[in-house]
A and B are shown apart, each in its own frame.
Chain A
Amino acid sequence: MRTDARARARPFRGLAAFLGTEVLVQAHEELAMATSMVVQVVLLVFVWVLNPGLIGVALVGAVLFSMFAMGQRVLNEAAYIRIDHKVSDLYLASPLSAEAYFLGISAGVLLVYLAPVVVVAVLATVVVHLTVADVGLLALLAAAVWLTSASIGYVFSTAFRDNRAIWAYSSLFFNVFGVLPPVFYPFGLFPVALRPVVLLMPPSAAAAILQGVLGAATLTHAELLLAAGGLAGESAGLFAFASYWARRTVRGR
């Protein structure tokens, strides 16, 4: 009939339009864009006051933490449009695929909140004298961290029926995973016995790899392998799972 039957064969066809919608919608939250850097700036000031020599490590950590914190925004946004607006029904009961919906929200968050992160990344590049290869590695690791956090954020968003319940859990999760482990401070300062644990947490794994490469921390081969393998596995695995989960949770039970 009149509906574009081709849409069926191309479920990502509307992704660009939905992504545009999400960017437009979220770009209106100027205050949220500004406050998205508060934790990072505060921690950078702490590090600078306590030990200015570690500011390079902290700047790189701030970039990775910022990417990780985007998952919290994916969680909030996905939950908000589903629970408060129910406008999600419009998109989920349409030819736009569930995967495109998940990607649209995640990439929308990324585009809107990326600018201040780039500023910090440029600062890090200058302060730490990063080479082009280092910057490439930072970008790659940042992308992997974003992929894991956006996936976790979206999956979490499907578990709640009330926005107030989300606030408590999301800040707990994202702060414990992002602030507590050695992201803003050197991996070497973390207790040896607990190192394998933080090497399996995406932001601290990425930070440890970079610190190792930049000479700010000494990692054994096994530790480097664990961090890199873990991060690669987690980002690919969680993204695949979130895509599957997005498809599955279109329909409530």
Chain B
Amino acid sequence: MAAVRSRTRAGRAAVSMSGEALRSDQLRKVYRSKGGPPVEALAGVTMRVARGERVALLGRNGAGKTTFLRIASTLLRPTSGTIEVFGCDVDRAPEKVRPYIAVVPQEGKPFFHLTPREQIYSYLRARGLGRETSKVRTADALERMSLTEFADRLSITLSGGQRQRTMVATVIATEAPLLFLDEPTIGMDPFARRSVWESLRNLTRRGSTILLTTHYLDEADALSQRLYIVDRGTVLVEGTAEDLKRSVGGTLKVLLPQGAAEVERFRSFGSCVPDGESLTVIASPERLGELMDVAVRSHLTATVGPVTLEEAFLRVVGRSINED
């Protein structure tokens, strides 16, 4: 046992393409900066990502998502705990991990004086890929991200969303076995976001693994097969989007546009979220008829729809905030 433990602590330093793509155990990160108190950004995060999986990391601003991604992608050292990528200890042998990963950093921008085509192509070449492969993949990534029209314009002349598409295209083109994407679709229009989703699905079909963060809950729902919600540096929930939706006590959402004043009448049906004049009640299908009766008697109109991941997120994270 002691031998096993010491070997684990020492960490493994060889990449293995069998087993998990990523695993972290009790990963902690404390930022220490001069003139400020230490900040515990990660307080023991344990995570598993299988090969070929698409996993979303969700959480409020400052929850620790970027910190986790930066540690996993060899750009930041953890304070304690372990993290392995394809079985290789990231902290001990980062240079062994790097050929297998690619990163879209949060708020990254392409080189302004390169065109998207030059950016993607030269990046692939810098990663050591051959001329022909780089050329083919560049054209393919430009096409996928609908950048062909702007492919030969300097990035400085592109819009914010077009630049972000260039960043994502650059990383997608690597076809690296493990991709880390920190808010990859920020600032993109709904069409562009869907192109990203489709490209990422395609990559995982071909064996790549994806870990991304996003504040768009519909994106996490549409794209990820599993998700982790982190809050203040710890994992609050792990599971599928469906698991999360079920966990909030009902699968239906009833919106009462004038219902906020009548909130007390609806408390017994499930959780109530007033927002201005309106009220949203999360309810189970069995009690929907009864609820509608109350609404009619109160002269309120109501619309019924499925609970979204965003609502489930608000409930789960909100509950955790209220508990403190």
A18 close to B99 (CB less than 8 A): no
Closest to B105 in A: A89
Listed stretches B118-126, B189-197, B214-222; interface member: B118-126
Specify which chain A residues have a CB less than 8 angstroms from the CB of B114 in the assembled complex: 21, 24-25
- Chain B residues within 8 Å of chain A by Cβ, number: 45
Tell me the A1-42 residues at the B interface (CB within 8 Å): 1-8, 10-11, 13-18, 20-21, 24-26, 28
Listed stretches B68-76, B265-273, B310-318; interface member: B68-76
Report the Cα distance A14→B101, complex, angstroms.
16
B122 close to A20 (CB less than 8 A): yes
- Mark contacts of B123-159 with chain A using CB atoms, 8 A cut-off: 1 yes-contact digit, 0 otherwise: 1011111000000000000000000000000000000
Report the Cα distance A14→B127, complex, angstroms.
6
Contact of B127 among A16, A25, A94, A253 (CB under 8 A): A94
Contact of B74 among A15, A24, A84, A93 (CB under 8 A): A93
B170 close to A252 (CB less than 8 A): no
Specify which chain B residues have a CB less than 8 angstroms from the CB of A7 in the assembled complex: 99, 127-128
How many residue pairs between the two chains, A and B, have CB atoms under 8 Å in the bound complex?
130
B98 close to A94 (CB less than 8 A): yes
**CB of A116 closer than 8 Å to a CB of B:** no
Instruction: Give the distance to chain A from B184, nearest Cβ to Cβ, in Å.
Output: 13
**CB of A221 closer than 8 Å to a CB of B:** no
A251 close to B123 (CB less than 8 A): no
Specify which chain A residues have a CB less than 8 angstroms from the CB of B174 in the assembled complex: 3, 94
A89 close to B128 (CB less than 8 A): no
Contact of B122 among A17, A86, A92, A95 (CB under 8 A): A17
Specify which chain B residues have a CB less than 8 angstroms from the CB of A25 in the assembled complex: 111-114
Closest to A13 in B: B128
B76 close to A251 (CB less than 8 A): yes
Closest to B90 in A: A251
**CB of B95 closer than 8 Å to a CB of A:** yes
Specify which chain A residues have a CB less than 8 angstroms from the CB of B105 in the assembled complex: 86-87, 89-90
**CB of B96 closer than 8 Å to a CB of A:** yes
Contact of A10 among B107, B128, B175 (CB under 8 A): B128
CB<8 Å pairs between A and B, sample of 28: A1-B207, A3-B100, A3-B176, A7-B128, A8-B95, A11-B95, A13-B128, A14-B125, A18-B122, A21-B114, A21-B123, A21-B126, A87-B108, A89-B73, A89-B105, A89-B108, A92-B74, A93-B75, A93-B101, A93-B103, A94-B98, A94-B99, A94-B127, A95-B98, A95-B128, A96-B126, A251-B74, A252-B77
The chain A residues found within 8 Å of chain B, CB to CB, are 1-8, 10-11, 13-18, 20-21, 24-26, 28, 81, 84-87, 89-97, 250-253
Question: Considering the complex of A and B, which 10 residue pairs feature the smallest CB-CB distances, nearest first?
Answer: A17-B125, A7-B128, A14-B126, A28-B113, A89-B105, A95-B99, A86-B108, A13-B128, A18-B126, A21-B122
